[in-house]
C-alpha cells in the first residue's frame, strides 16, 4: 500500500477511537491526554468519529500512550493476507496451520509494535494464539477487542468473534441474574453472530440458540452448514457439525441420531481422509453421552471405550463405564480405574464423583458407599440439569437392587433418593 502524506479521514476515525480506548485502559485522564496536544473538543470528537484536520493532534496523543502512526503502510498487504489465511484455517479446523500463521505473524510484526494499528493486529494474533494453544486467561483482551475490533479488517473480526464467543461460553455463568451472565449477554449482543456470514460463527450462533432451547432454529443452521461443508469437502467442519448434532438431537429427534452417526463414522473410518483427532474424540464423546443419557448403555459403552484413552475425556468416560458395568452386570471390558491423584484433568467437583466409583471398584462396603453418597456426592450435583444427576439417580437405583436386608441402609438410601428427586 502506498505511503500516506497525511492520515486519511478513515484512519483518523480509527486512530481516534483507539486513542480513547487506550487512554481509558491505561488510566490516563482526558486532561493529561490533551495537555499541549489538542482541545477537549477535538479529543471528544475522537469518540464521535469526527476527524480532526491536523495530524499533529493524533501524533501527540499517540505519543502520550507510547504509540506512533505508520505512514508507510508497508505491512498492510501482509496483514490482510495473514488474516485471510487464518480465517480459512479456523474454518477448516486446521489447528497446525492456525498455530503456524499466528506464530509467524506475531514474529513478523514485532518491529512494528510501536505503531497503533499494527499493534492492534499483533495483539489480536497473540490473543487468538493464547486462547487456542496456551492455557492462559484472555479476559483482558476480550474486554479490549469487544470495543476495538470493529476497526480491524473483517477477516480478523470473524476470527476474534469466534474466540470471544468460545471464551464467554466456557467461562461465563449461564445463570440469569449473575454478574458474569449479564456480561456474557452484553458481549453476545455486541458480536451479533446471527448476522455473521462466517460459517464458524453461524455454528457458534447455533450453539447459542441451543442454550436458549431454540432447538429447531439451531437445527436449521446446522443442516445448512452441513450442506455447505459437504459441498466444500470440509471434513473437519462436518465433524464439528455432527458433534453439535449429537448434542442437539437428544432434545428433539432421538431416532434420527443414527443418520448422523453413520455420516460421522464414514468420515472417521475413511483412511483416505485426514481429520483432526480431537474432533473425532469430541464426536465419540457426544455420541456416548447421548446414548448414555437415553439409557442405551451398550451403544454408549462402545464409544466410552474409545474416549477413555483421551485424557480430556478420561474422568467422565471412566465414571460412565463403571456405572454401566454395575447396572448391566457386564465386566467384559476389564477396565481398571486409576487413583484420583493420577488423573491429569479433573475438577474439584468431579473428584467427588470419581472417588465414589473408585471406592466401589475397590469393593468398598455398601454402607460406606451410601454414607459417601450422602456426604459428598449429593452436595456436588448442583441441580437436576447436571449430567451427574443422571449418573447418580441411576446409581442409587442400581444400589437399591444390591442391598441386603440391612434396613438402616435401605432407609438411608431412600432418603438420599428423595433428596435427588426434589432437586
DSSP code for 359: H
In which element (H, E) is residue 219 found? helix 215-232
In which element (H, E) is residue 223 found? helix 215-232
- Please give the pLDDT value at position 197: 97
Asked if pLDDT for residue 10 goes beyond 70, the answer is yes
Looking at the chain, the whole-number percentage of residues with pLDDT higher than 90 is: 75
CB 157 within 8 A of CB 150: yes
Residues 6+ apart with CB under 8 A from 417: 393, 396, 400
- pLDDT tier at 403, thresholds 50, 70, 90: confident
CB 257 within 8 A of CB 296: no
Digit-coded pLDDT (tens) for 97-110: 999 999 999 999 99
- Please give the pLDDT value at position 1: 60
Distance between CA 239 and CA 278 in Å, rounded? Answer: 10
Angle at 422 between CA 410 and CA 394, to 5 degrees: 55
Digit-coded pLDDT (tens) for 163-207: 999 999 989 887 777 788 899 999 999 999 999 999 999 999 999
DSSP code for 332: T
In which element (H, E) is residue 79 found? helix 76-91
- Please give the pLDDT value at position 405: 65
Sign for the CA dihedral angle at 43, 46, 51, 57 comes to: positive
Q: What is the mean pLDDT of the chain?
A: 92
Domain made up of 9-65: CATH architecture: Orthogonal Bundle (1.10)
- pLDDT tier at 333, thresholds 50, 70, 90: confident
DSSP code for 8: -
Q: Which of 103, 126, 116 is closest to 75 using CA atoms?
A: 116
Phi-psi region of 369 (alpha: psi -120 to 50; beta: other; left: phi over 0): alpha
In which element (H, E) is residue 398 found? helix 387-402
Distance between CA 209 and CA 203 in Å, rounded? Answer: 10
What are the extents of the domains in the chain? Answer: 9-65, 76-186, 192-275, 307-423
- pLDDT tier at 331, thresholds 50, 70, 90: confident
Question: How many other CB atoms are found less than 10 A from the CB of residue 391?
Answer: 22
Sign for the CA dihedral angle at 30, 34, 36, 42 comes to: negative
Digit-coded pLDDT (tens) for 284-330: 999 999 999 888 999 999 999 999 999 999 999 999 999 999 888 87
Distances (CA, A) of 97 to 85, 105, 275, 277: 9, 12, 13, 15
Residue 292 burial (C-beta neighbours within 10 Å; 0-12, 13-18, 19+): buried
pTM of the model: 0.86
Q: What is the DSSP string of 13-74?
A: HHHHHHHHHHHHHTT--HHHHHTTT--HHHHHHHTTT---S-HHHHHHHHHHHT-B--SS-T
Distance between CA 139 and CA 146 in Å, rounded? Answer: 11
DSSP code for 271: T
Residues 6+ apart with CB under 8 A from 237: 91, 92, 93, 199, 225, 229
Per DSSP, what are the bridge partners of residue 115? Answer: 68
Angle at 284 between CA 281 and CA 345, to 5 degrees: 50
Digit-coded pLDDT (tens) for 42-98: 999 999 999 999 999 999 999 999 999 999 999 999 999 999 999 999 999 999 999
Amino acid at each position: 500500500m502506498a505511503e500516506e502524506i497525511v492520515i486519511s479521514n478513515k484512519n483518523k476515525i480509527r486512530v481516534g477511537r483507539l486513542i480513547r480506548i487506550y487512554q481509558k485502559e491505561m488510566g490516563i485522564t482526558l486532561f493529561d491526554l490533551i495537555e499541549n496536544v489538542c482541545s477537549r473538543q477535538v479529543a471528544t470528537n475522537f469518540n464521535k468519529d469526527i476527524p480532526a484536520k491536523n495530524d499533529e493532534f493524533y501524533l501527540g496523543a499517540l505519543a502520550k500512550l507510547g504509540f506512533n502512526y505508520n505512514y508507510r503502510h508497508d505491512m498492510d498487504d501482509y496483514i490482510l493476507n495473514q488474516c485471510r489465511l487464518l480465517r480459512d484455517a479456523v474454518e477448516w479446523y486446521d489447528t497446525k496451520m492456525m498455530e503456524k500463521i499466528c506464530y509467524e505473524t506475531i514474529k513478523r510484526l514485532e518491529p512494528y509494535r510501536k505503531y497503533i494499528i499494527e499493534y492492534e493486529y499483533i495483539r489480536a494474533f497473540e490473543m487468538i494464539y493464547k486462547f487456542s494453544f496456551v492455557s492462559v486467561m484472555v479476559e483482558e483482551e476480550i474486554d479490549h477487542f469487544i470495543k476495538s475490533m470493529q476497526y480491524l479488517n473483517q477477516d480478523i473480526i470473524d476470527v476474534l468473534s469466534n474466540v470471544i464467543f468460545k471464551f464467554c461460553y466456557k467461562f461465563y455463568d449461564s445463570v440469569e441474574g449473575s454478574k458474569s451472565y449479564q456480561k456474557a449477554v452484553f458481549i453476545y449482543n455486541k458480536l451479533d453472530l446471527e448476522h455473521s456470514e462466517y460459517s464458524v460463527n453461524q455454528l457458534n450462533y447455533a450453539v447459542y440458540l441451543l442454550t436458549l432451547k431454540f432447538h429447531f432454529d439451531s437445527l436449521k443452521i446446522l443442516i445448512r452448514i452441513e450442506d455447505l461443508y459437504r459441498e466444500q469437502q470440509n471434513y473437519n467442519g462436518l465433524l464439528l457439525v455432527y458433534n453439535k448434532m449429537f448434542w442437539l438431537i437428544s432434545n428433539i429427534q432421538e431416532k434420527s441420531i443414527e443418520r448422523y452417526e453413520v455420516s460421522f463414522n464414514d468420515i472417521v473410518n475413511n483412511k483416505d481422509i485426514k481429520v483432526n483427532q480431537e474432533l473425532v474424540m469430541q464426536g465419540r464423546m457426544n455420541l456416548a453421552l447421548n446414548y448414555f443419557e437415553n439409557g442405551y448403555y451398550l451403544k454408549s459403552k462402545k464409544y466410552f471405550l474409545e474416549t477413555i484413552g483421551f485424557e480430556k475425556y478420561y474422568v467422565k468416560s471412566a465414571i460412565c463405564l463403571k456405572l454401566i458395568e454395575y447396572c448391566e452386570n457386564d465386566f467384559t471390558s476389564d477396565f481398571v480405574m486409576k487413583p484420583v491423584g493420577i488423573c491429569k484433568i479433573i475438577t474439584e467437583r468431579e473428584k467427588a464423583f470419581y472417588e465414589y466409583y473408585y471406592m466401589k471398584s475397590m469393593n468398598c462396603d455398601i454402607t460406606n458407599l451410601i454414607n459417601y453418597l450422602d456426604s459428598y456426592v449429593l452436595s456436588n450435583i448442583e441441580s437436576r440439569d447436571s449430567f451427574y444427576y443422571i449418573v447418580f439417580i441411576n446409581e442409587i437405583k442400581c444400589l437399591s437392587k444390591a442391598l441386603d436386608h440391612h434396613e438402616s441402609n435401605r432407609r438411608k438410601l431412600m432418603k438420599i433418593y428423595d433428596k435427588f428427586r426434589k432437586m
